[in-house]
Amino acid sequence: MKQRLLKAAVLPLMIALPSAANTEDEGVTNKTSFNFYGTLRPTFGITSNGSEDSWDVKDALSRIGFSSQKALGNGMTAFATGEFKIAIDKNGDLGEARKAFVGIKGDFGRVAIGKQWSTIYNMLGDPVDIFNRASSPLAYDHIGPYRINNYVSYRKIIGDFSLATDVQIDDENEASQNTDRFNTGLAYSANNLRLAVAYYIQKMAVDKKEIRGVSAAKSFGDLYLAATFTDTDDQGVNKTSLDMVAAYKLSNGYKLKIGISDFDSSVDVTSFWAYNATLEWHPRNDFYLFGEVQTMDWKAGDSTNSFMVGLRYNFDYGFKF
């Protein structure tokens, strides 16, 4: 499997080389853009599990980062991103990297190396990831990966279609035999409609994990609807996830969001139905306040109910030179 993964990783780079051959001689512009961005997302709420209540201040994936692009000539651009967690609920510490990669893009597509979003999340998780929790989307969260390190990715847009292929190879963890992954997907986007399919396989110590899934999203003016379904074989354990969400823009900067999630596993103790409802107030594009209720109806245990309020402040400063 290692040789196949290497070939999948090297192929996009080989495709890119002919286009890059004459960049030293033709049209190098030296135009560079740099963005410094971040989002702070503290929350405060209560969680009730049976007779026990728990109050807590938490963090909904605060982060800070930078991104940069530089024109190389002949229609090619180099780019880089570094993004790091900020744990508001843990002394405000600057944590581990969420993303850290460098790449090149042009008519051949986009190639990047480093820690990146996985194709399966981009294709399946992102359309239903609309809530203000670290575990959103709820059912997908129990199955799919998000960001993956030691990653080589290839992206190509052809008309209304987007093709993506990723591969992870980590020789330092070869002894554990659980880090090599292959991921691919295809999306169609037109007329406010997006349809996607994705496939993911991860080599484990004595077995493998395979995920197949589909997603659909559609905007009708102020109304947004989306759904994602995955079917997983996780070392002989069958798991399915279904996330359905809706968002509607109300007047005066308010937005209402609702969601239903179903996670089903042959290990019943982890199976659940979940329900979300969120009301957001957006006085500005870079700031909003929200309140959210959530019920987790465990199929083999008591339900869990929670309510939280939170703030989100976003910033993005761009420079060109």
Residue range 224-275, pLDDT digits in tens: 999 999 999 998 899 999 999 999 999 889 999 999 999 999 877 789 999 9
Identify which of 124, 126, 104, 125 has the alpha carbon closest to the alpha carbon of residue 15: 104
Identify which of 210, 39, 230 has the alpha carbon closest to the alpha carbon of residue 128: 230
Query: What are the tokens at 4?
Result: 């196949």
pLDDT at 27: 42
Average pLDDT for the chain: 88
Residue range 188-226, pLDDT digits in tens: 999 999 999 999 999 877 789 999 999 999 999 999 999
Instruction: Say what percent of the chain tops pLDDT 70.
Output: 88
> Greater confidence, 50 or 104?
104
Mean pLDDT of 28-33: 74
Instruction: Give the pLDDT band (50/70/90) at residue 12.
Output: very low
pLDDT at 22: 36
Q: How many CA atoms are closer than 13 Å to the CA of 242, on its beta-carbon side?
A: 8
Asked if 217 contacts 193 with a C-beta cutoff of 8 angstroms, the reply is: yes
Instruction: Look up the pTM and report it.
Output: 0.86
The C-alpha atoms of residue 215 and residue 72 are separated, in whole angstroms, by 36
